[in-house]
Structure 1
Amino acid sequence: MQKSTAAILGLFIFLGLGLFGYLLSTAALTVKGMERVVTVKGLAEREVTADKAIWPIKFEEAGNDLGTLYTTVERKSAAVTAFLKAHGFSEGEITVSPPSIVDRQAQNYGNSANIAFRYTAATVVTVYTERIDAVRQSMKEIVNLGKDGIALSGQNYEHRTQFLYTGLNSLKPSMIEEATKNARVVAEKFAKDSASRLGKIKTARQGQFSITDRDSSTPYIKKVRVVSTVSYYLSD
Structure 2
Amino acid sequence: MTHVNGAAVIAAALLVGAGIATAGYFVGQTIYNSQVAVNTAEVKGLAEKRVEADRAFWKIQYTVSGTSTSDMAQLYAQSEVDQKKIVALLLESGFEATELSPGVIDTSTEEFRDENQKLVEKKISLIGSIDVETAKVRKVAEVRSKLNTLVAQGLAITNNPPAYHFTKLNAIKPEMVKEATTNARIAANEFAVNAGVKVGGIKDAQQGGFLIRDVGEEYGDTKNIEKDVRVVTTITFYLTE
Mark yes or no: TM-score above 0.5. Answer: yes
Provide the alpha-carbon RMSD of the alignment.
Answer: 2.5
Is 2:51 the partner of 1:45? no
Residue aligning to 1:189: 190
8 A contact 2:210–2:229 mirrored in 1: yes
Once the 2 structures are TM-superposed, how far is the Cα of residue 6 of structure 1 from its aligned partner? 7.1
Q: Does 1:103 align with 2:109?
A: yes
How far 1:114 sits from its partner (Å)? 2.5
Confirm whether residue 149 of structure 1 aligns to residue 154 of structure 2. yes
SS of the residue aligned with 1:189?
Answer: helix
Contact 1:207 1:227 in 2 (8 A): yes
Q: Distance in 2 between matches of 1:140 and 1:194?
A: 61
Once the two structures are TM-superposed, the CA of residue 4 in structure 1 deviates from its matched residue by 7.3
Structure 2 match to 1:128 = 133
1:15–1:133 CA distance, 2 compared to 1 (3 A): same
Amino acid at match of 1:92: T
Hey, what does 2:168 align to over in structure 1?
Answer: 167
TM-score by length of 2: 0.83
- Distance of 1:121 and 1:112 partners within structure 2: 24
Structure 1 window deviating more from structure 2 (135-144 vs 3-12): it is 3-12
Please report the TM-score for the alignment, with normalisation by the length of structure 1: 0.84
In structure 2, relative to structure 1, the CA distance for the partners of 1:205 and 1:93 (3 Å cut) is same
Q: CA deviation at 1:66?
A: 1.4
My pick for the range that moved more, 186-195 or 90-99, is 186-195
| Distance verdict in 2 for CA 1:235–1:112, change over 3 Å | farther
Counterpart selection for 2:93 from 87, 99, 102? 87
8 A Cα contact 2:113 2:120, kept in partner:
no
* Higher fraction of strand: 2
Instruction: Note the alpha carbon deviations across 1:28-73, whole angstroms, 9 max, x for none.
Output: 1111222x43221111111111111111112222112211211111
The answer for the alignment partner of 1:137 in structure 2 is 142
Shift of 1:235: 4.1
Distance 1:37 1:20, change over 3 A: same
What is the aligned counterpart of 1:75 among 75, 81, 86? 81
> Which has a greater percent of helix?
1
**Which sections of structure 2, spanning at least 5 residues, go unmatched?**
218-222
Q: Summarize the Cα distance change of 1:32–1:8 in structure 2 as closer, same or farther, 3 Å threshold.
A: same
- The Cα offsets for residues 153-183 of structure 1, whole Å up to 9 and x where unpaired, read as 253xxxx311111111111111111111111
Paired-residue identity, %: 28
Q: CA deviation at 1:15?
A: 4.4
2:114 paired with 1:114: no
What displacement does 1:95 show? Answer: 1.1
Give, in whole Å, the separation in 1 of the partners of 2:211 and 2:113.
46
For this pair of structures, how many residues does the alignment match?
228
> What corresponds to 1:231 in structure 2?
236
Alpha-carbon separation, structure 1, partners of 2:216 and 2:93: 27
Deviation of residue 10 (structure 1)?
5.2
Q: Which residue number in structure 1 is paired with residue 57 of structure 2?
A: 54
Describe the shift of the 1:40–1:90 C-alpha distance in structure 2 as closer, same or farther (beyond 3 A). same
Residues 54 and 128 of structure 1 are in contact (CA less than 8 Å); yes or no, is this contact kept in structure 2?
yes
Cα distance between partner residues in 2 of 1:150 and 1:113 = 28
Query: CA separation in 1, counterparts of 2:26 and 2:12?
Result: 21
